[in-house]
Structure 1
Amino acid sequence: MSVRPEIEEGTRLEPRFDAAGTLPCITVDAETGEVLMFAYMNQEALDRTIQTGRATYYSRSRKKLWVKGEESGFVQHVRELRIDCDQDCVLIKVSVEGGASCHVGYRSCFFRRLKPGSSGELEFTESKKVFDPEKVYRRSS
């Protein structure tokens, strides 16, 4: 394993994007440390996140930038941005207006877990939704 002190222990942000030009991003609640969601950033999303203080991601399925909360109102305000030792993964600590981060209405996208003793059955860890996605995301057909 080669040591790259400028990347691994340096003081300059030099993100290492994958072949698709993206970087995984873990988003956690700044107060509680609860994992809220996982998404990707490209260079533009990372730059905008840093410049605006609002979590901005890259939607791989829609192939466009996505500012969290621009449609729902559940804005993620970045309180801290961290990068891992290889600079190929970002962790952001956020406060969330309205208290929800999941597009299906839950506080966290991680609202289910593998049921103990099961190899494939899921159980809910959140008992109720923060909002009704049908009302928040009014889609025109």
Structure 2
Amino acid sequence: MTTNIKAEGFAPRTDKKAIELGYELCPKFDDNGLIAAAVSDYDSGELLMVGYMNDESLRRTIETGEAWYWSRSRQEYWKKGGTSGQVQKVKEIRTDCDQDAIWLRVTVEGNGATCHVGYRSCFFREVKSNTDGEIWLKRTEVAPVYDPEEVYGKKQ
């Protein structure tokens, strides 16, 4: 079960009709205070990544026009591209009908990549299977766009 963590500065979550059809942003954060954010390329529609935002990172994104996230592993805010130069410039922000997910449509500065292991999209592998029950991953991007060790100075 999820609860709605108080979202400072956003409209309160009231009745279902207002949430689903209304004109006020009242995001539903989970028990950890997070909301999923799908990110796609503004021009092509290509899915680039999925991240998580809390109240503050969503507000920072809206206010600055650049994508901010909450790192679940590091327990800290991170501006996408702060180290790599691959800043995500937000062109459009959408939310789904029950306001428990965010969709960012962005352009990516720098080399245009998003994935921290060097690929344009974090979704650079496709799940494949055969009739024998074997399952494997097939790369949909032939090679990384950049070398993460050169960008981040350490092995990812």
In the aligned structure 2, how far is the partner of 1:119 from the partner of 1:72? 37
Deviation readout 1:115-139 (Å, 9 max, x if unpaired): 2526421010000111100000014
* Amino acid paired to 2:147: D
Runs of 5+ consecutive residues of structure 2 not aligned to the other structure: 1-14
C-alpha RMSD of matched pairs (Å): 1.4
Q: Deviations over 1:44-71 (max 9, x none)?
A: 0000000000010100111110100000
- Matched residues in 1 for 2:144 and 2:154: separation? 19
3-state DSSP class of the match of 1:7? helix
- Partner SS for 2:33: coil
The two structures have a TM-score, normalised by structure 1, of 0.94
CA distance in 1, matches of 2:60, 2:28: 17
Amino acid at match of 2:92: E
Measured in 2, the distance between the counterparts of 1:63 and 1:106 equals 24
The size of the alignment, in residue pairs, is 138
Q: Which amino acid aligns with 2:114?
A: S
- Report what 1:107 is aligned to: 120
1:125 to 100, 120, 140: 140
Q: In the alignment, residue 89 of structure 1 is paired with which amino acid?
A: A
**Greater RCO structure (CA 8 Å; 6+ sep):** 1
State the distance in 1 between where 2:145 and 2:23 align. 39
Per-residue Cα deviation, 1:60-107 (whole angstroms, up to 9, x for no partner)? 111110100000000000000000001000000000012100000000
- TM-score normalised to structure 2 length: 0.85
Amino acid in the other structure paired with 2:94:
R
Match of 2:48 among 10, 32, 36: 36
Unmatched runs of 5 consecutive residues or more in structure 1: none
Q: Which aligned segments of 4 or more residues in structure 1 are displaced greater than 6 angstroms?
A: none
Q: Which amino acid aligns with 1:64?
A: E
Instruction: Measure the CA separation in 2 of the matches of 1:61 and 1:127.
Output: 28
Secondary structure class of the residue paired with 2:114? coil
1:70 aligns with 82
* Identity rate, percent: 51
Tell me the residue number matched to 2:92: 80
The separation in 2 between residues aligned to 1:73 and 1:52, in whole angstroms, is 16
